[in-house]
Amino acid sequence: MAHGPQHELVSDEARTLAHKAKQGSAWPISLDAWAVAIALALTALVWVGWIKRIPW
Amino acid sequence: MATSVAIPAPFSDNLFKRLARLIPGLFLLIAVGYAGKFVEQSIARYGKAYHLTLPNIEYVLWAILIGLVISNTVGIPAAFRPGLATYEFWLKAGIVLLGSRFILGDVLKLGGVSLVLVVIEISISLLFMTALGRAFGLTPKLTSLLAIGSSICGVSAIIAAEGAIEADEEDTSYAIAAVLALGAVALFTFPLIGHWLGMSDTSYGLWAGLGVDNTAEATAAGALYSDAAGKVAVLAKTARNAMIGFVVLGYAIYWARKQGTAGVGNKAAFLWRKFPKFVLGFLLISALATAKFFDGGQLTSLANLSRWAFLLTFAGVGLRTNIGEMRKQGLRPFLVGAIGEVAVALLTLGLVLGAARFLH
- At B40 the pLDDT is 87
- How far is it, in rounded angstroms, from Cα B176 to Cα A38? 28
Is the domain B23-46+55-358 a CATH 1.20.1530 member?
A: yes
* Calculated CA dihedral for residues B315, B320, B323, B328, nearest 10 degrees: -170
Instruction: Specify the DSSP element, H or E, that contains B328.
Output: none
CB contacts of A32 in chain B (<8 Å) are 92, 276-278
**Distance set, CA B141 to CA A4, B284, B316, B339 (Å):** 10, 36, 30, 18
Dihedral pair phi/psi, residue B207, rounded to 5°? -65, -45
Q: What is the pLDDT of residue B33?
A: 94
The reported pTM is 0.80
**Distance between the two ends of chain B, CA-based, in angstroms?**
80
Map out the domains of chain B as residue ranges: 23-46+55-358
Q: pLDDT per position in chain B (360 positions), as tens?
A: 444 444 445 555 677 888 889 999 999 999 999 999 999 889 888 888 888 777 677 788 889 899 989 988 998 898 999 899 888 899 899 999 998 988 888 778 777 888 888 889 888 888 888 888 888 888 888 888 888 888 877 777 787 777 777 777 777 777 887 787 788 888 889 999 999 999 999 999 999 999 998 888 899 999 999 989 999 999 888 888 888 888 888 888 887 777 776 666 777 787 787 788 888 899 999 999 999 899 989 999 999 999 999 999 989 988 987 777 666 656 777 788 888 888 889 999 998 988 877 666
Of A14, A34, A46, Cβ closest to residue B173:
A14
| Chain B residue nearest residue A55, CA to CA | B304
Closest Cα in chain A to B140: A2
- Is ipTM > 0.85 here? no
Is the Cβ–Cβ distance between B169 and A24 less than 8 Å? no
The answer to whether the CB atoms of A8 and B330 lie below 8 A apart is yes
Cα separation, A5 vs B337, in Å, equals: 14
What's the pLDDT score for residue A44? 95
- The pLDDT assigned to A2 comes to 44
SS3 (DSSP) at B199: coil
State whether B137 and A2 contact (CB < 8 Å): yes
Say yes or no to pLDDT of A1 above 50: no
State what percent of residues in chain A have pLDDT above 70: 52
CB B88 within 8 A of CB B32: no
Q: Give me the pLDDT at residue A5, please.
A: 46
**A38/chain B closest Cα distance in angstroms:** 7
Cβ within 8 Å, pair A13-B320: yes
Tell whether A44 lies on the interface with B, counting CB pairs under 8 A: no
**A43: closest CA of chain B, how far (Å):** 7
Distance from B120 to chain A by nearest Cα, in Å? 27
Q: Answer for the pair A4, B142: CB distance below 8 angstroms, yes or no.
A: yes
Nearest to B177 among A6, A10, A21 (CB): A10
What angle separates helix B169-197 from helix B201-211, to the nearest 10 degrees? 160
CB pair distance less than 8 Å for B96 and A4: no
Residues B279, A36: Cα–Cα separation, whole Å? 9
Q: In the prediction, which pLDDT does B273 show?
A: 79
pLDDT for B142 equals 84
CA proximity to B180, closest of A43, A11, A1: A11
- Name the closest residue on chain B to residue A46, using Cα atoms: B298
**How many angstroms separate the Cα of B102 from the Cα of each of A46, B228, B283, B299?**
17, 11, 9, 10
- H-helix segments, B101-226: 104-135, 140-151, 154-164, 169-197, 201-211, 215-225
SS3 of B240, please?
helix
Who among A10, A22, A35 is closest to B92 (CB)?
A: A35
Chain A from 16 to 35: CB within 8 A of any B CB: 17-19, 21-22, 24, 26-28, 30-35
Q: What is the 3-state secondary structure (H, E, C) of A1-56?
A: CCCCCCCCCCCHHHHHHHHHHHHCCCCCCCHHHHHHHHHHHHHHHHHHCCCCCCCC
Write out the E strands in chain B: none
Nearest chain B Cα distance for residue A21, angstroms: 6
* pLDDT on residue A7: 40
B89, A34: Cβ pair inside 8 Å?
Answer: yes
What's residue B10's pLDDT? Answer: 52
Tell me which chain B residues have a C-beta less than 8 angstroms from the C-beta of A36.
Answer: 92-93, 96, 277-278, 280-281
B339 burial (CB, 10 Å; 0-12 / 13-18 / 19+) is middle
d(CA B229, CA B218): 11
